[in-house]
Amino acid sequence: MGEGKMKIGVTRFSWVVGLFLLSGWLGNSLFSQNISADDSTPMAPTERIELLNGKNLEGWTSCLKGDPDPAKTFFMDEGVLKCTGFPNGYLRTKKSYRDYKLTVEWRFLKIGPGADNTGVFIHTQLPDRVWPQAGVECEGQYGKQGDFVLMNQTTCKGNETTSPSRRIKMQDKPNENPVGQWNIMEIVARGSTLECSMNGKKLNAIEDLNISFGFIGLQSGNAYFEVRRLSLEPISNP
């Protein structure tokens, strides 16, 4: 091979190697961004955090049965989060939280047999699946908002044995407003304890939970509902 041809060959080889290395770097960078998109390191809020920005679902991800287009289930419309209720699954934060007060302002516009259910997921654990391997559902079914449902591997005082679904009924009568009116659910997660209030009335509390942090989610469960506020506030630990 002549000297000129050899130089061309070396140049082409260097270019190919450089492109290969650049592609690998980009691929690794994209992969790193992808796996770090969900932060499982729990964060305790130090100031009020609005989980809904009123424009889009930035900061959220979904897990829906059958892996459909999530925008057809959860979407923002005029500053309000709306959920069609189908298919079953949930929308959750990409960040994990602990030790907070969560306020959810939501409503059903109409309900019917088998179409009156949703819920707020607390301490949701990975991997995503329908339904989560561990976490607590603060029941959103009409007439039962105030109940807790322990999912799969979750335990608490008085419910130390795991099973797919264990309901802890509210300790007082329901305090929901009529369908069409807004309700305010307040959930206080403090260490291994959890409390739930509806429209200013404390309805339930559990302690000695085996999980004390995780992702926050909203359930798609066969009912259309709307959420106009979803915010976190710091709490003080005793």
The tally of CA atoms less than 13 A away on the side-chain side of residue 113 is 0
The torsion of the CA quartet 129, 134, 138, 140, rounded to 10 degrees, works out to 20
**What stretch of H or E contains 9?**
helix 3-35
> Tell me: the pLDDT tens digits for 81-103?
999 999 999 999 999 999 999 99
* More confident of the two residues 102 and 16: 102
Direct distance between the N- and C-terminal alpha carbons of the chain, in angstroms, rounded to an integer? 81
Cβ atoms of residues 85 and 176 within 8 Å: no
Pairing of strands 95-97, 39-43: parallel
CA distance 52 to 114: 28
> Tell me: the pLDDT tens digits for 27-52?
332 222 233 357 889 999 999 999 99
Return the number of other C-beta atoms located less than 10 Å from residue 47's C-beta.
Answer: 7
Return the number of other C-beta atoms located less than 10 Å from residue 189's C-beta.
Answer: 26
Supply the pLDDT for residue 40.
Answer: 84
Supply the pLDDT for residue 38.
Answer: 77
Question: Whole-prediction pTM value?
Answer: 0.84
CA distance 91 to 83: 10
**DSSP code of 178?**
P
Cβ atoms of residues 154 and 231 within 8 Å: no
